[in-house]
Amino acid sequence: MEQKVVKPYHLFNHQGRWYAINIEEMCTCSIDEKTAGALTAITADPDAPIEPLMEEQLDKLGLLSIEEEQNPKAKPGKYKEPVPVVNMTLLLTQSCNLKCVYCYGDGGKYGAGGMMEESTAFQAVDWMLEQSGKIKKLYIGFFGGEPFLNFPLMKAVVEYAEKRVQEMDKQVVSHTTTNATLLDDEKIVFIKEHQIQVMISFDGPQEIQDAQRPYVNGAGTYDSTVPKIRKLLAVLPEAPGHAVILGNTDPQYIKNALQEIGFEQISVMPVSQSLFQGKPGNPNSDRDTRVLLQALEEEAETWMRLARNRDREALKSFTDKSQLYQGLIALLHNTKRRHACGAGLGLAGVSCTGDIYLCHRFVGQDEYKLGSVFAQGLNREKYQKSPTTGNGKCTACFARYYCAGGCKHDNAGSCGSISEPSEDMCRLRCRELELAATIIGRLEDEDKAFLVEQQIFPPKPCPLDF
């Protein structure tokens, strides 16, 4: 007789209500206290028979499977073939006109400094075209330091890349991250003309921005930069603002300040430790995730209030600043991430001299150098395996398919290893997924229908869509 067993799950209580996350299927539901107790008992004694009524209930929740199916042949832990490189970030300059107090790039120098030459940049474009294989859509990022310190090269690379992809029947999307201090009419026109996606690094209210992101000479940057940001947003209102949080700064205070400047899309992130300063693996004294955790709790309640009040406009605006949105979509669409990002896979960071690194954050760290745009081959074999199967800590975590091991650079800075996520970031990501699960569990079917109809949530893709 077939033995039914409980699938891997995560059970937790929030505000007196029980929730279960089906780990392997990345879905969730709210459950009653009796079912929660039964799950706990079954976990304590897997061989105990399951009552018929409880079996039916667990089956409806998708938490039961046939025993023989519990240990299917594991999916490959790494890719069988080399992953095409389709996203390349060029460090046009390893210098900066700011002296941010938390800079992970050694003041933008990444240990060596310098400016990229045109021949190196063009070679990098040709290298990626070769590496991309049959993939048609490619991405080129411009980074620094401050990339607009080398604006002439940015223009040359964009025009060269657009010409080369056309010759090869491909397309390219250009993107850049900037501190916005050098934006002017010429640059904004160029950005608009070539549809360059721009992210602006800006830390919020004046007292924080001036303290955390001063000019090299120590002067504040807020007053001189905000008018330039507003001029860009008048042309590209969708350009996101990204802030770094130090200590116990309230993230909502930062978001409100960025919204007042004019940003519609906003993200915040706790500070990461620089690999150039101090010994990697030391806890970052400037990072305090407790206030971020509290902000997540408040955000979950805001989601419920706005959804039940059918406040479409507020929801539209709120989504662009939400820390829980990705968790909501992951659980609604049953999305399983096996890698946190493309570092070591389809992503590459290229230094001024043409050396290739795990990503742009690792430039200047020889341990994470993969090769050169002037040579064949990439030394990236050890990065191909997914943390969800290759890392003991992640393999045992219920949020493994949501977090997928976290940022490799943050891991290296916090714990001294790219495969060892820090405890504070683990707590943050796990709580994000739990709170996303509570929202889904509390929403009624008509609430979810409203959110899809109003395009707050995208509809679940059809598995036959390609």
Q: What is the pLDDT of residue 361?
A: 97
- Convert 294-360 into a string of H (helix), E (strand) and C (coil): HHHHHHHHHHHHHHHCCCHHHHHHHHCCCCCHHHHHHHHCCCCCCCCCCECCCEEEECCCCEEECCH
**Residue 69 buriedness (CB in 10 A; 0-12 / 13-18 / 19+):** exposed
Query: What sign for the dihedral angle of Cα 423, 425, 427, 430?
Result: negative
- d(C-alpha 338, C-alpha 355), whole Å: 27
Burial class of residue 175 (count of CB atoms within 10 Å of its CB; 0-12, 13-18, 19+): middle
Half-sphere exposure of 428 (CA within 13 A, CB side): 18
**C-alpha–C-alpha distance, residues 182 and 228, integer Å:** 8
Of 2.40.50.140, 3.40.50.620, 3.20.20.70, 1.10.730.10, the CATH number of 87-357 is 3.20.20.70
Give residue limits of the domains in the chain.
Answer: 4-70, 87-357
Write down the pLDDT at residue 365: 96
Segment 409-413 long-range contacts (CB within 8 Å, at least 24 positions apart): 409/104, 409/272, 409/275, 409/343, 409/358, 409/359, 409/361, 409/362, 410/272, 410/273, 412/275, 412/280, 412/362, 412/368, 413/104, 413/272, 413/273, 413/274, 413/275, 413/280, 413/284
| Confidence (pLDDT) at 98 | 98
Q: How many CA atoms are closer than 13 Å to the CA of 169, on its beta-carbon side? A: 2
Q: Give average pLDDT by consecutive 10-residue segment, the chain, 466 residues.
A: 74 96 93 89 78 76 64 52 93 98 95 97 98 97 97 98 97 98 98 98 98 98 98 97 94 96 96 80 66 95 96 94 96 96 96 98 96 95 90 92 96 92 94 98 95 94 60
Residue 435: what pLDDT?
98
Spatial distance between the Cα atoms of 8 and 64, rounded to a whole number of angstroms = 9
Beta-carbon neighbour count of residue 353 at 10 Å? 16
Quick one: tokens of 49?
């028979």
Give the global pTM.
Answer: 0.91
Q: Is 10 exposed, middle or buried (0-12, 13-18, 19+ CB in 10 A)?
A: middle
Beta-carbon contacts of 49 under 8 Å, excluding residues fewer than 6 positions away, are none
How far apart are the C-alpha atoms of 92 and 111, rounded to whole Å? 15
Which spans in 20-102 are helix H? 33-44, 52-60
Reported for 204-208, long-range contacts at CB under 8 A and 24+ positions apart, including other chains, are 204/243, 204/253, 204/254, 204/255, 204/257, 204/258, 205/253, 205/254, 205/257, 208/249, 208/254, 208/257
Q: How far apart, in Å, are the Cα atoms of 410 and each of 48, 217, 360, 370, 415?
A: 43, 28, 13, 19, 8
Q: Can you give the pLDDT at residue 399?
A: 97
